[in-house]
Amino acid sequence: MAVLRGFLVAATLLLAALPATAQNPLLPGIGAKDRRVVVDATHAPWSSLVKVQSNLGARCTGVLVAPRRVVTAAHCLLNRAQRFLPASSLHVLFGYERGEYRQHRAVATLETGGPYDTERRLDGLVGDWAVLTLDGDAPEGMPPLPLARVPPEAGTPLMLGGYSQDRAHLVTADTGCAARGINDTDRGPLLVHDCDGTRGVSGAALLVRVPGADGAGEGWAVAGIAVAAVSGANPRNIAVPSAAFVAAVEGNTPSLR
């Protein structure tokens, strides 16, 4: 998960009321005790995660939210000049594990939450999302996850999993974390959480339990996507709530590129 200088300033403001903690520059977003565990990428809800790659070699996590739509973090799609890559240079891998993947889809179009703030100020993170429209449906057995329309309240249990930079060939997840509240900005709300996640998990789904269809059991929904992490023993990490991109997923806004 990329952490740039501009965001570190914002993170200092966000954490001003918390006690100072030791810094871990190698793994921002991971607490004093790393809670991440390897999970089975063939089982729900992890089977809905994908690996997003560009021709430049950039890699992030994404989540399938419709048969042909994947959500990820916008900053994963920038070139060296900090401009968005064309859709034709992006690829989505389904069922990726240990260098193998089940199927590949090219990206036909993409829409972003711009204008995107490349200096990563806190209010700039609100636009750090991208909806990728694929050139074909996702493989069978890899169902899209629904979007939660309202951010979870503080204390709500969550999970976060993805392809972390330090374990890039497996899905690792924090299955015992929680929402910590909303941080309001001039451009909209951001979801604060304490889930362990570091570089590579950008764009991964922050998962929340929801009632199943017709009241049958429980399922999982996407509460937001992970976009930024901070260092420290008790990090408070940042996600864009699903409400920010639900219209783009449902096709109610025009594609930008």
pLDDT reported for residue 215: 56
Decide whether 5-41+145-243 matches 49-134 in CATH topology.
yes
What's the CA gap between 45 and 78, in Å, rounded?
28
- The answer to whether domain 49-134 has CATH 2.40.10.10 is yes
The values of phi and psi at residue 3, to 5°, are -125, 115
* CATH of range 5-41+145-243; options 3.40.50.300, 3.30.565.10, 2.60.40.420, 2.40.10.10: 2.40.10.10
Residue 118 vs residue 11, higher pLDDT = 118
Give the number of other Cβ atoms within 10 Å of residue 68's Cβ. 16
Mean pLDDT score, 225-245? 88
pTM equals: 0.84
Q: Which amino acid is at 38?
A: V
In whole angstroms, what is the distance from residue 116 CA to residue 102 CA?
A: 32
- Tokens 């374990």 belong to residue: 167
Q: Are 73 and 129 in contact (CB under 8 A)?
A: yes
Residues 55, 224, 117: CA angle, nearest 5 degrees: 60
Whether 60 shows a pLDDT value over 80: the answer reads yes
What does the domain layout of the chain look like in residue ranges?
5-41+145-243, 49-134
Report H helices in the chain.
5-14, 246-249
For the segment 140-154, what is each residue's pLDDT rounded down to a tens digit?
A: 889 999 999 999 999
In this prediction, residue 169 carries a pLDDT of: 85
pLDDT at 249 over 80: yes
Which has the minimum average pLDDT: 20-34, 59-73, 204-218?
Answer: 20-34
**101 or 246: which carries more pLDDT confidence?**
246
pLDDT in tens, 209-228: 998 655 556 799 999 999 99
Residue 162 has pLDDT above 70, yes or no: yes
